[in-house]
Structure formats: structure tokens, C-alpha cells
Amino acid sequence: MKNVLVTGGAGFIGSNFINYILDKRDDYFVVNLDKLTYAGNLENLIPSEGKKNYRFVRGDICNAELVDYLFNKYKIKYVINFAAESHVDRSILGSEVFFRSNVIGTNVLLESARRYNVEKFLQVSTDEVYGSLGAEGLFTETTELHPNSPYSSSKAAADLMALSFHHTYGVPVVITRCSNNYGPYQFPEKLIPLMIINTLNNKKLPVYGDGMNVRDWIYVIDHNKAVEAVFESGKPGEVYNVGASNEMPNIEIVKLILKELNKDESLIEYVKDRPGHDRRYAIDSSKIQNELGWKPEFEFEEAISRTIKWYVDNKNWWERIISGEYQKYYQTQYGSR
């Protein structure tokens, strides 16, 4: 049995990971430590609830006493750290909590991992640590780090700290740097779910700047299979880029959502650009493909249609979310449109 502490498992990617891994394998005992911030939602984990090899603990990864207690109680030998503040726009509105959770929290986990001699520590990171690309080229694992937002700089800091724990103390750290994810259970502050839900509600679709910023999209299950591959076979001290070679300008995604939902493009509204908005991300994932045999399996056209359908079919899930704190955030970010 692998006793794994999965942090941030009530968020978008973490919950998809737990549901996926517990469905597939019975040799993982998963302890999910999540603070349940605005982004954490236990409804995402209904498929895993009640499984004998799953426990949920509500708590903060910055709480060293609690983290240490959990390592001891559950004989934790493995960590997968998804927990983070994850939204770039929120990091621009206020950065402090990003450095607390993403940097201090990672430090607390690494300290316990060191004391309890863990066998693998997987830090879930992002392609945003590399900064922005021009019209050409791809991020490789040796691209210089150049984070541009408070969010991405906190993730880069955590990556460097994790690698230093490998170098200094021999903690078997591995890092994944993935591109933009989409899929079920994504909080509707991110581009794709926000645009789907606004379209369904006949609300304006706020496109930043000229809409020509490019992101490289991957279906969340492909990301999670990459996390599994790096967790199982990644070499300590190494970084693995994860992406599905699917670059698209934002405006194309927005138009595709409108088309799938049979709505008119007049809903599109170009709004003030995000400050410091990175122009283009694109990932070279040949290292994980060649060394660990992972490759993306989902075709974008099929997986985005399936994702849109999920939001159409799961109105209850997102209606509860957008009726709460979300309204306050929406007003601050987008005004009363």
C-alpha cells in the first residue's frame, strides 16, 4: 500500500486526480488535506466518498503541527502537492495569500517530508513559471524561469525551494510543469468554465485585450495521467513539462463555446487587458514522452465538447458556486456587466 498525502484534493485538478486514481488502483491509500478555500468543494469528490482507502482532512498546509501529525498518524511516505492559490487575476488583486499557501505551505510540507524520509514528493507546478513566449518556440525544462505574475512567481519560488530540498537533504522531489487544463469541476473564474457559464446565462463574455493571447490546452485527465507517471517513475531532482500541443488564441476558444451552445457572437465584449498579461504559452513535452512513455490521449475537439456538456448537465454544481462569494469577486474583477 502506498500511503499518499494529496494536498488540495478538493480543487479542480486534485479532485479529478483522486477520483481517477482511486477508481483505477487499490494500492494507494489517499489522505486528502485541503483547507476548503473558495476553490475547494467536497462535491467534486462524491465518486471517492466512503472508499476504504480514502480520508479527507480539512486543514491548511501552512499548519506545521497538523501536517506533522498527519505524516505520523497515516505513516505518509508519499506527497503530491496540488494545494495552491491558482488564479492569476486574484493574485493581481492581492498577492499575500499566494505567497503564504504556495511558498510557505510548500515549505511546511517539504520539512515534514524531510523528517519522515518520504519516498517521493511531487510538486505540481505550471508552465507559467517560464514567463511568456513570442510568436515562435516552446518551453522546455531548461528554459530560464521568468515568472511575470504574483501567482507564477510564487509557483517558481516553490519549485526552486523543492529542488533545493532535493539538492541539500536528498528529498526525492519531482516537479511537473503543466499547461492550461480544462475539464469538469473547474472553478468558473478560469477562462473556459467562465465563458461556458456566462453563455448559458446570456451574460457578456469578457475577453481581455485583443483576445489573441495564446494558451496550450490539455484535458485534466491527461494531466493527471502525467502526474501518475512522474509520481511512479520520475527521477528525483527532475522537472517534467506536460502539455498536449494544442495552442489556441483565447478568442477562438470563446467563439467555439458560443458555436457549441448555439449562441451569437454579439455576447463577446472586449475588456481592459489583464496587467502584465503573458502573450503566449506553449509546451515541449518530449522529455516525459521519451523518458516515461506518457502521451496525451484526449483530442481537443472531443474533450472540449464533453466538457461543455458537463457544465450544461451539472447546473446545480455551478449555480451553488456562483451564488456565493463568487458574486463579490465578479463585481471586483469585471464590474457590473
Residue 145 has what DSSP assignment? Answer: P
Decide: is 8 part of the binding site for ligand NAD (CB under 6 A).
yes
Helices (H) and strands (E) in the chain, counts: 13, 12
208 binds, among ligand NAD, ligand TDX, none (CB under 5 to 8 A by kind): ligand TDX
Instruction: Kindly state the smallest distance separating residue 237's Cβ from ligand TDX, in Å.
Output: 22
Binding mask 121-150 for ligand TDX (x = CB under 6 A): -----x-x----------------------
Q: Does 191 participate in binding ligand TDX (rule CB under 6 A)?
A: yes
Pairwise CA distance, residues 260 & 102, whole Å: 36
At residue 33, the 3 state secondary structure works out as strand
CA distance 273 to 260: 26
Examine the residue annotation and report whether 128 is marked as an active-site residue of this protein. yes
Using the rule CB under 6 A, give the single segment among 71-79, 84-92, 295-303, 314-322 that binds ligand TDX: 84-92
Place of cell 495552442: 247
- C-alpha torsion angle, residues 248, 250, 254, 259 (rounded to 10): -30
Distance CA 27, CA 43 (A): 24
Per the CB < 8 A criterion, the answer to whether 64 and 34 are in contact is no
Q: Which stretch binds ligand NAD (CB under 6 A): 55-63, 67-75, 137-145, 202-210?
A: 55-63
Q: Are 244 and 286 in contact (CB under 8 A)?
A: no
Please tell me whether residue 124 binds ligand NAD under the rule CB under 6 A. Answer: yes
Binding site for ligand NAD (CB under 6 A): 7-8, 10-14, 34-37, 39-40, 60-62, 82-86, 101, 105, 124, 126, 155, 178, 180-181, 187
Known catalytic residues are 127-128, 151
Binding site for ligand TDX (CB under 6 A): 86-88, 126, 128, 180, 190-191, 194, 206-208, 213, 215, 250, 274
